[in-house]
Amino acid sequence: MEKLSDDLLFQKLNNVEENYKYIEEKIAEAAVKSGRQRKDITFLAATKTVQPAVINHAISLGLRYIGENRVQELLSKYDEYDLNNAQLQFIGRLQTNKVRQIIDKVSLIQSVDSAKLAGEISRRAIENGIVMDVLVEVNVGQEESKSGVQIEMLDELIGEISEMKGISVKGLMAIPPICETSQEIVKYFEKMHKLFIDISTKKTDNVSMNILSMGMSDDYSEAIMCGANMVRVGSALFGKRDYTK
Ligand SMILES: *Cc1c(COP(=O)(O)O)cnc(C)c1O
């Protein structure tokens, strides 16, 4: 990752500060509109392609959760994150053979979508003497190319994970399809909220539905209105991503 020039970095930090305050206000507004309070919603910043200096600036403003979605990138930035003041989570597609590399570095893996992956997390967590908290990622739009478990298989997968040691299901995560209108995306958010409620009603051992992670830069307010209590925001905070660097 290239270092930003001093001028560019200064400009960038100012923008992040402005964006951070704006998003905080929007989250608070949606929380109240949906009958909750600001403190009931977790603001996680999706930090892919973002320089650690910029991430740490957001942490200095009050950000408490960051999420990476590539193992390689997480490892290369790991020593620079200010993890005394924020928790690092994994939010991307995770290959079984890479679990070992992050198991002792993240506080939550949001993207578990198969028993095979859960089994490997369980094995590595036991090795490390920890219990890893996870979310089950749901392919709510039934898209072929997308990660996430199919809705019909969700109960079965949660049942299987609940029997595993070293891993604990804390909720659900989704990345809905790209939608033209907010009415369209709201349907997916509502569907997720219904699944979330249905599963919590079942009260399975070792499974809690504390976290419903959905909503990104373009739709986090809508997601909160539909019951999300964690949003994952990237470009609205850090600006448009530059994948060329
Ligand atoms: C990048 C990313 C986000 C944030 O996307 P933005 O549209 O930039 O807010 C959220 N969730 C996951 C899993 C991501 O990879």
- Does the beta carbon of 92 lie inside 6 Å of ligand 1? yes
Name the band, by pLDDT with cuts 50, 70 and 90, for residue 43. very high
Per-residue pLDDT at 83 exceeds 90: yes
What mean pLDDT do residues 6-29 have? 94
Q: Is the dihedral of CA 42, 215, 189, 149 positive or negative?
A: negative
* The ligand 1 atom nearest the CA atom of 92: 13
Domain limits, the chain: 6-238
Per-residue pLDDT at 3 exceeds 80: no
The residue with tokens 């597609």 is 93
What pLDDT is stored for residue 10 in this prediction? 87
Q: Among residues of the chain, what percentage have pLDDT more than 90?
A: 90
What mean pLDDT do residues 77-89 have? 98
Name the band, by pLDDT with cuts 50, 70 and 90, for residue 225. very high
Per-residue pLDDT at 245 exceeds 70: no
Pairing of β 108-112 and β 87-90: parallel
Per-residue pLDDT at 239 exceeds 80: yes
- Does the beta carbon of 114 lie inside 6 Å of ligand 1? no
- Does the beta carbon of 48 lie inside 6 Å of ligand 1? yes
What pLDDT is stored for residue 166 in this prediction? 98
- Contact between 217 and 177 (Cβ < 8 Å): no
- Does the beta carbon of 148 lie inside 6 Å of ligand 1? no
Average pLDDT, the chain: 96
Whole-prediction pTM = 0.96
Whole-number Cα distances in Å, 136 to 39, 82, 128, 238: 23, 27, 22, 27
Task: Please say whether the structural domain 6-238 has been given the CATH code 3.20.20.10.
Answer: yes
CB count within 10 Å of CB 1 equals 11
- Contact between 17 and 57 (Cβ < 8 Å): yes
Per-residue pLDDT at 4 exceeds 80: no
What pLDDT is stored for residue 12 in this prediction? 87
Per-residue pLDDT at 233 exceeds 90: yes
Per-residue pLDDT at 67 exceeds 70: yes
d(CA 219, CA 165): 35
Whole-number Cα distances in Å, 59 to 15, 19, 75, 90, 157: 14, 13, 19, 17, 35
- Lowest pLDDT segment from 6-20, 145-159, 206-220: 6-20
Per-residue pLDDT at 216 exceeds 80: yes
Whole-number Cα distances in Å, 15 to 9, 54, 64, 181, 242: 10, 10, 18, 27, 16
- Does the beta carbon of 211 lie inside 6 Å of ligand 1? no
Complete DSSP assignment for 181-223: SHHHHHHHHHHHHHHHHHHHHH--TTEEEEEEE---TTTHHHH
What pLDDT is stored for residue 8 in this prediction? 86
How many residues can be counted in the chain?
A: 245
Per-residue pLDDT at 131 exceeds 90: yes
Mutate to test the pocket of ligand 1, among 91, 221, 224 (most ligand atoms within 8 A of CB): 91
What mean pLDDT do residues 79-106 have? 98
